[in-house]
Structure formats: structure tokens, C-alpha cells
Amino acid sequence: MTPQVAYKHKVSHEWERAATLREVRTGRVDTDAVRDADFLLRAAATHHGVDSLRPCPLCGSTLRNTRWVYGEVLGRRAGSARSEKEIAEFVAEGLEFTVHTVEVCIACRWNHLLTSEVAYGKC
Ligand SMILES: [Zn+2]
């Protein structure tokens, strides 16, 4: 039987996100400093991301949530953006690895880590 993708050790980074946005709104941090999504991040968001239900907090455009996978067990695949289908395939190999969900605004380059969690297969 193919195992289902399950997650554990989920850590939310909402608090840091809200704190960063507060700093921007009060002018203590320049907006340019947080609009730093590089080419790779934006390309990954375009090709592997899914639309977020939330608009960009800085410009109101549609955000793309992208899933990045990390872990030595992934070999060369570590540190790359992946679709849910690919994550399911890795889990089906019996692997357990970290998944970061990053929101990216392709329009203004705002980006922030939303959650980190460990993916594993549950039969
Ligand atoms: Zn934006």
C-alpha cells in the first residue's frame, strides 16, 4: 500500500511574519529590505507554487506558496522546490524530511517562511 503523506513537528513562523510587517509599517525596516525574493525563489514560486488564499501584505497581489524540501536523505534533491505530488513520491520511498512552506509575491518580491514541518509516510 502506498503511504499517505503526513506531517509532524510543525513550526509556524506567523509570529515572525507579523513582527516583520510591523517593522515595515512603522518604518523601522525599509520595504526594499524585505522585498528580496531572488530569481530562483520567484521562478520556483511560478512553476511549483500554488496560489495563497491571502493577498500580498505589501502590494495586494496574489501570493504563491512554495514547498521546499530539505534533508540529507534526499541527496541531490535537498534544497529544491517541489510539488505535492513529488513530496508524496519521496514519502513513498520511505523517506522522512523537512518541508518549508515559503510565500512569495512575484509582483513585489516580498517573501517569508510560513511553516517548517517534517513529512513522513503513514500507512
Ligand atoms: Zn507583493
What are the structural domain ranges in the chain? 4-122
DSSP alpha helix (H) spans, the chain: 14-25, 31-34, 39-48, 84-92
CA of 103 relative to ligand 1 center, distance in Å:
10
Q: Give the pTM.
A: 0.93
Which pLDDT does position 115 carry in this prediction? Answer: 98
Which pLDDT does position 28 carry in this prediction? Answer: 94
CA of 85 relative to ligand 1 center, distance in Å:
27
- Asked whether residue 27 carries a pLDDT value surpassing 90, the answer given is yes
Neighbours of ion ligand 1 (CB under 5 A): 56, 58-59, 61, 105, 107-108, 110
pLDDT tens track for 67-78: 999 999 999 999
Kindly state the percentage of the chain with pLDDT values over 90: 97
Query: Looking at residue 28, what DSSP letter applies?
Result: S
CA of 89 relative to ligand 1 center, distance in Å:
32
CA of 87 relative to ligand 1 center, distance in Å:
27
**Amino acid occupying residue 123:** C
Q: What is the arithmetic mean of pLDDT over 49-63?
A: 97
